[in-house]
C-alpha cells in the first residue's frame, strides 16, 4: 500500500488512463477493423482479400500481443515512478 | 514399421515424459498443490497457460470450424485471444496482489459474504465440469483413431494418466507437465502446417502462406479458394457477414468468457510478483498466437486440399470415383466421421452445397444431392494424410491432440478440486482442517472429479457442442463481471454483487435453454434455434456478453440503493490496486 493517499490515487488514475487507451486500440483492431468497418476497408487489398479479413484472422491477434507487452512495460515504469513497485 | 506402431511410440513417449515430470515435481504442501509454490517464471507460466487454455477445441476443432465458416468464424480467433488483453489489464495483476488460492475466495472476501462465495463456487463448478466433458470425449476420439482401441478404453487410459500426474503433483506437477505438453502440441500442429504451406504456396511459414500465391494456379491462395467454393455453390470463403451485431457479441462473449474461466485465472496466482502476472499474460498470448496464427492457414489450405482431392480436374469437371478414393477417406469412414452415400449412382463422390440457389446448376451437372458428409474435427487430424505426409507426422498429431486435451482437462480438474477442498471444505464445512487434512481432501476431490469427468466423457449428455456455450456464457455473465467490479469499484457491496451474479447467470442460462432445451433435454426448447427466432438476431452462443451487461447494471443499481461496503473492504479494494507488498499467495 502506498504511503501517501494522493500519490496512490494519482497512480491509480494513471493506470486507468493507460487501460482506457489500450482498450480503445483493442476494440478498434478487433470489433472495428475486423468486423464493423470491414466494408470501408474493402478497397485495401492484401493477398487475394481485403485488410478487414487480415485483421479478423491475424492482425487483431498481433495487436493484442503488442498491447499487453506495451501495458506491462508502461506499468513497470509507473510502479517505479510512484514508488509502489515490489522490491 | 506400421502406422500403429509409430503412433504407439509417439504417444507412449509423451506420456512417459508427463509422468516423469510429475514424479519430479510432487506437491508437498497446499501451496505447492494450489499455486505450484508460487515461484513459476513468467515465460514458463505463459507456456503452461497456453497449454492449459488451448484445448481439444483449439487443437482439433478450431481449424475445421474456420474452414467451414470462412471469415464468419474468425470470431474464434479474435475471441479466444482478445480475452488475454482483459486478463492482463483488468484481472490478473490485482488478483495476484490479493494473494489467495482460488477465484471464489476473492469474491467471498471482497463482497464479505459466504453467499457470494457459494454462488461463485457453483458457477465455477458448472462452467468447469461442462468444459471438461468435451476434453475427455476429445481424448477418447483421438485415442480410438490413433491407437485403434475402443473410445471408452482410450478414455480410461487418458484418465489414468491425468490421475497420475494431477493428483500426485497438483498445480506444481500440472504446471511443468503443461510446459512439456505445450512443446508437444505446438510442434505437432506446426510441422504438418509447414509442409502443407510449402506444397501449396512455397512459403515455409503457414501464417504468411495464407496471404501468398497459390503456386499451381498463380492466383492468391484465398482468391483461388473463393473461386473453387463458388463453383460448388458455397458462399465465398472471405465473404462478409450480414448480422454484425451477433458477430460482435459472439466475439465479446468469447473474450470475456476466456478472461472469466477460473482455470485460466488461477494460473496467474503461481507467479512470484504482480509485474510477473502482467508479463505472463503477454507470454501466454505469444505462445497461443503461434498456434492461432497458423490455424487460419491450416483451415484454408485444408479446405482447398480436400476439394482438390474430390475434384482432381477442377470443380466443374467430374469428381473422383468412389472406388479410387484415397486411403485416408477409407480410414476415416470407419470412425463414422466421413460418410458417403451415392445418391445419383454414378460411382463418383460429389461434395457441394445443397442449397436452393445452387439446385439448378447441380441438376444440370447430374448431381442428386451432396454425397459426402465430413465432420469438421477431422480436418486437423487427417490433414497429414490428405497432404500425403510421412507416417511419423501422423504419430506426432496423435501425441499433440492428446497433449491439448489432457493439459486442459488437468487445469480444469485442479480448478474444480481446489473449489471443493479449499472453498467448500475449508471455507465453509470445516475451517479448522489441518494443512495435511486439506491436502488429502484436495487429492480426494481431484480423484472424484476425474472419475465423474470420465463417466461423463463415456456417457456424454448428448449436447457436447452446446455445453461449451454454457461454460463460456456462465464465465462471461457471472464470474468476469464480479471480479471486475470487485477491483474497479469500491461502491459495489455484497447485495449488489450477489444480485448481479444471479441476474447475469439466470438471464444467460434461460436464454440458452429457451433455444437449446431446458437442461438440454431434446424437445423441451420453447423456440426453434434459428436466426429468425433469436432476440435481435443474438444467438444463444453470443448471449454471455448481454448477460454480463445485465450483471453490471443490476449490481450497480442494487448497490446504489443500499449501504456502502464497510471501510475495511474499501481499503482491501484499494490495496489490491498497488503492487507493493504482494508477498506470496497464501490460504489464510
Of A48, A57, A83, the CB nearest to B74: A57
Would the CB atoms of A23 and B244 count as touching at under 8 Å?
A: no
pLDDT, average across residues B175-194: 93
pLDDT at B250 over 90: yes
pLDDT at B587 over 80: no
Query: What is the pLDDT, as a whole number, of residue A1?
Result: 45
Count CB neighbours of B216 within 10 A: 12
With a CB-CB cutoff of 8 Å, which residues 34-53 of chain A face chain B? 34-36, 38-39, 46-50, 52-53
Residues from chain A that touch B244, judged by Cβ atoms under 8 A, are: 35-36
Residue listed under C-alpha cell 492466383: B219
Would the CB atoms of A71 and B89 count as touching at under 8 Å?
A: yes
DSSP secondary structure string for all residues of B462-504: S-HHHHHHHHHHHIIIIIHHHHHHHHH-SS--HHHHHHHHHHH
Rg (chain A; Cα; Å): 18
Question: Tens of pLDDT along B85-133?
Answer: 999 999 999 999 998 889 999 999 999 999 999 999 999 998 898 888 8
Inform me whether the C-beta atom of residue A85 falls under 8 Å from chain B C-beta atoms: yes
Cα distances (Å, whole numbers) of residue B272 to B39, B488, B579: 5, 23, 12
Q: Is the ipTM reported for this complex over the cut 0.85?
A: yes
Question: Tens of pLDDT along B144-174?
Answer: 777 777 778 888 888 888 888 888 888 988 9
Q: Do B563 and B492 form a contact (C-beta atoms < 8 A)?
A: no
Q: Do B343 and B369 form a contact (C-beta atoms < 8 A)?
A: yes
In angstroms, rounded to a whole number, what is the distance separating the alpha carbons of residues B147 and B11? 9
pLDDT, average across residues B293-316: 91
> Average pLDDT over chain B, rounded to whole?
89
Residues from chain B that touch A69, judged by Cβ atoms under 8 A, are: 279, 282
Residues from chain A that touch B85, judged by Cβ atoms under 8 A, are: 22-23, 26, 64, 67-68
pTM of the model: 0.92
**More reliable by pLDDT, B477 or B139:** B477
In angstroms, rounded to a whole number, what is the distance separating the alpha carbons of residues B477 and B474? 5
Residues from chain A that touch B238, judged by Cβ atoms under 8 A, are: 48-50, 53
In angstroms, rounded to a whole number, what is the distance separating the alpha carbons of residues A34 and A55? 5
Residue listed under C-alpha cell 488478483: B95
User: What is the DSSP secondary structure assignment for residue A85, as one 8-state letter?
Assistant: -
The answer for residues whose C-beta is within 8 angstroms of residue B222's C-beta and 6 or more apart is A47, A48, A49, A53, B210, B211, B237, B238, B300
The C-alpha cell of B347 is what? 460411382
Residues from chain A that touch B78, judged by Cβ atoms under 8 A, are: 30, 34, 56, 60-61
Would the CB atoms of A31 and B212 count as touching at under 8 Å?
A: no
Would the CB atoms of A65 and B220 count as touching at under 8 Å?
A: no
Query: Of B452, B446, B88, B25, whose CA–CA distance to A69 is shortest?
Result: B88
Query: What is the pLDDT, as a whole number, of residue B261?
Result: 92
Query: What is the pLDDT, as a whole number, of residue B500?
Result: 96
Of A12, A57, A64, the CB nearest to B85: A64
Would the CB atoms of B578 and A2 count as touching at under 8 Å?
A: yes
> Average pLDDT over chain A, rounded to whole?
91
Of B93, B222, B578, the CB nearest to A8: B578
Q: How confident is the model at residue B462 (pLDDT cuts 50, 70, 90)?
A: low
Residues from chain B that touch A25, judged by Cβ atoms under 8 A, are: none
pLDDT at B425 over 70: yes
Query: What is the pLDDT, as a whole number, of residue B529?
Result: 83
pLDDT at B324 over 80: yes
pLDDT at B67 over 80: yes
**More reliable by pLDDT, B74 or B139:** B74
What is residue B113's three-state secondary structure? coil
User: Is domain B3-301+389-577 annotated with CATH 1.20.1730.10?
Assistant: yes
Interface test with A, best of B91, B282, B484, B487 (most A CBs within 10 A): B282
Would the CB atoms of A53 and B78 count as touching at under 8 Å?
A: no
Q: Do B53 and B254 form a contact (C-beta atoms < 8 A)?
A: no
Would the CB atoms of B210 and A56 count as touching at under 8 Å?
A: no
User: What is the DSSP secondary structure assignment for residue B318, as one 8-state letter?
Assistant: P
Q: How confident is the model at residue B581 (pLDDT cuts 50, 70, 90)?
A: confident
The answer for residues whose C-beta is within 8 angstroms of residue B449's C-beta and 6 or more apart is B132, B413, B416, B417, B420
Would the CB atoms of B223 and A38 count as touching at under 8 Å?
A: no
Would the CB atoms of A68 and B84 count as touching at under 8 Å?
A: yes
pLDDT, average across residues A1-18: 83
The C-alpha cell of B149 is what? 482401441
- Domain map of chain B by residue range? 3-301+389-577
The DSSP H or E segment spanning B372 is: strand B372-374
In angstroms, rounded to a whole number, what is the distance separating the alpha carbons of residues B97 and B80? 25
In angstroms, rounded to a whole number, what is the distance separating the alpha carbons of residues B236 and B525? 33
What is residue B243's three-state secondary structure? coil
Query: What is the pLDDT, as a whole number, of residue B366?
Result: 85
Query: What is the pLDDT, as a whole number, of residue A2?
Result: 43
Question: Tens of pLDDT along B468-520?
Answer: 767 888 899 999 999 999 999 999 999 999 999 999 999 999 998 898 888 77
Query: Of B316, B417, B332, B409, whose CA–CA distance to B366 is shortest?
Result: B316
Question: Tens of pLDDT along B406-415?
Answer: 889 899 999 9
pLDDT at B179 over 80: yes
What is residue B340's three-state secondary structure? strand
Would the CB atoms of B222 and A76 count as touching at under 8 Å?
A: no
What is residue B373's three-state secondary structure? strand
Residue of chain A with shortest Cα separation from B221 = A48
Would the CB atoms of A47 and B71 count as touching at under 8 Å?
A: no
Residues from chain A that touch B207, judged by Cβ atoms under 8 A, are: 58
Amino acid at each position: 500500500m502506498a504511503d501517501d493517499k494522493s500519490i496512490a490515487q494519482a497512480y491509480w488514475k494513471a493506470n486507468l488512463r493507460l487501460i482506457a487507451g489500450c482498450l480503445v486500440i483493442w476494440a478498434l483492431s478487433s470489433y472495428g477493423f475486423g468486423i464493423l468497418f470491414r466494408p470501408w476497408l474493402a478497397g485495401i487489398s492484401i493477398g487475394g482479400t481485403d485488410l478487414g479479413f487480415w485483421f479478423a484472422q491475424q492482425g487483431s491477434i498481433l495487436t493484442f500481443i503488442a498491447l499487453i507487452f506495451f501495458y506491462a512495460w508502461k506499468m513497470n515504469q509507473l510502479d517505479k515512478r510512484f514508488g509502489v513497485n515490489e522490491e | 514399421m506400421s502406422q500403429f506402431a509409430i503412433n504407439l511410440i509417439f504417444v507412449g513417449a509423451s506420456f512417459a515424459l508427463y509422468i516423469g515430470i510429475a514424479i519430479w515435481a510432487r506437491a508437498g504442501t497446499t501451496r505447492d498443490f494450489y499455486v505450484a509454490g508460487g515461484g513459476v517464471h513468467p515465460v514458463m507460466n505463459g507456456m503452461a497457460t497456453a497449454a492449459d487454455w488451448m484445448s481439444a477445441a483449439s487443437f482439433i476443432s478450431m481449424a475445421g470450424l474456420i474452414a467451414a465458416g470462412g471469415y464468419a468464424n474468425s470470431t474464434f480467433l479474435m475471441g479466444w485471444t482478445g480475452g488475454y488483453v482483459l486478463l492482463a489489464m483488468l484481472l490478473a495483476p490485482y488478483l495476484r496482489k490479493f494473494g489467495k488460492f482460488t477465484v471464489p475466495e476473492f469474491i467471498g472476501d471482497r463482497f464479505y459474504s459466504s453467499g457470494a462465495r457459494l454462488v461463485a463456487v457453483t458457477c465455477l463448478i458448472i462452467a468447469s465440469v461442462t468444459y471438461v466433458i468435451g476434453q475427455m470425449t476429445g481424448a477418447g476420439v483421438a485415442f480410438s483413431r490413433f491407437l485403434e482401441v475402443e473410445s471408452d478404453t482410450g478414455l480410461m487410459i487418458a484418465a489414468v494418466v491425468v490421475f497420475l500426474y494431477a493428483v500426485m503433483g497438483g498445480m506444481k506437477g500440472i504446471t511443468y507437465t503443461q510446459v512439456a505438453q505445450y512443446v508437444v502440441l505446438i510442434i505437432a500442429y506446426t510441422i504438418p502446417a509447414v509442409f502443407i504451406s510449402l506444397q501449396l504456396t512455397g512459403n515455409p511459414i503457414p501464417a504468411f502462406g495464407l496471404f501468398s500465391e497459390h503456386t499451381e494456379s498463380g492466383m492468391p491462395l484465398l482468391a483461388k479458394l473463393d473461386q473453387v467454393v463458388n463453383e460448388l455453390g458455397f458462399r465465398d470463403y472471405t465473404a462478409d457477414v450480414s448480422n454484425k451485431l451477433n458477430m460482435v457479441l459472439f466475439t465479446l462473449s468469447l473474450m470475456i468468457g476466456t478472461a472469466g474461466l477460473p482455470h485460466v485465472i488461477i494460473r496467474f496466482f503461481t507467479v512470484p510478483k504482480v509485474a510477473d502476472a502482467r508479463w505472463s499474460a503477454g507470454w501466454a498470448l505469444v505462445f497461443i498466437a503461434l498456434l492461432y496464427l497458423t490455424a487460419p492457414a491450416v483451415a484454408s489450405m485444408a479446405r482447398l486440399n480436400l476439394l482438390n482431392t474430390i475434384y482432381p480436374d477442377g470443380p466443374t469437371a467430374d469428381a473422383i470415383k468412389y472406388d479410387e478414393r484415397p486411403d485416408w477417406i477409407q480410414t476415416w469412414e470407419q470412425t463414422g466421421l466421413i460418410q458417403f452415400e451415392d445418391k445419383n449412382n454414378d460411382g463418383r463422390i460429389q461434395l457441394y452445397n445443397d442449397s436452393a440457389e445452387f439446385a439448378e446448376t447441380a441438376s444440370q451437372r447430374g448431381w442428386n444431392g451432396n454425397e459426402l458428409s465430413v465432420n469438421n474435427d477431422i480436418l486437423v487430424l487427417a490433414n497429414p494424410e490428405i497432404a500425403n505426409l510421412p507416417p511419423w507426422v501422423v504419430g506426432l498429431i496423435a501425441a499433440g491432440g492428446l497433449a491439448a486435451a489432457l493439459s486442459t482437462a488437468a487445469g480444469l480438474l485442479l480448478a474444480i478440486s481446489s473449489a471443493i477442498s479449499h472453498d467448500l471444505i475449508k471455507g465453509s464445512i470445516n475451517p479448522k482442517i489441518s494443512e495435511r487434512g486439506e491436502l488429502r481432501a484436495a487429492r480426494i476431490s481431484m480423484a472424484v472429479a476425474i472419475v465423474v469427468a470420465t463417466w461423463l466423457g463415456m456417457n456424454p449428455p448428448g449436447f457436447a457442442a452446446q455445453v461449451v456455450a454454457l461454460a463460456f456464457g456462465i464465465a462471461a455473465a457471472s464470474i468476469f463481471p464480479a471480479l471486475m467490479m470487485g477491483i474497479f469499484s469500491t461502491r459495489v457491496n455484497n447485495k449488489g454483487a450477489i444480485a448481479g451474479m444471479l441476474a447475469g447467470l439466470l438471464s444467460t442460462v434461460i436464454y440458452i435453454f429457451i433455444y437449446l432445451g431446458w437442461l438440454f433435454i431434446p424437445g423441451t426448447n420453447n423456440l426453434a434455434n434459428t436466426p429468425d427466432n433469436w432476440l435481435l438476431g443474438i444467438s444463444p452462443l453470443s448471449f454471455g456478453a448481454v448477460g454480463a451487461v445485465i450483471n453490471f447494471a443490476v449490481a450497480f443499481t442494487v448497490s446504489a440503493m443500499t449501504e456502502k461496503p464497510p471501510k475495511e473492504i474499501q481499503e482491501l479494494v484499494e490495496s489490491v490496486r498497488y503492487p507493493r507488498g504482494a508477498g506470496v499467495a497464501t490460504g489464510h
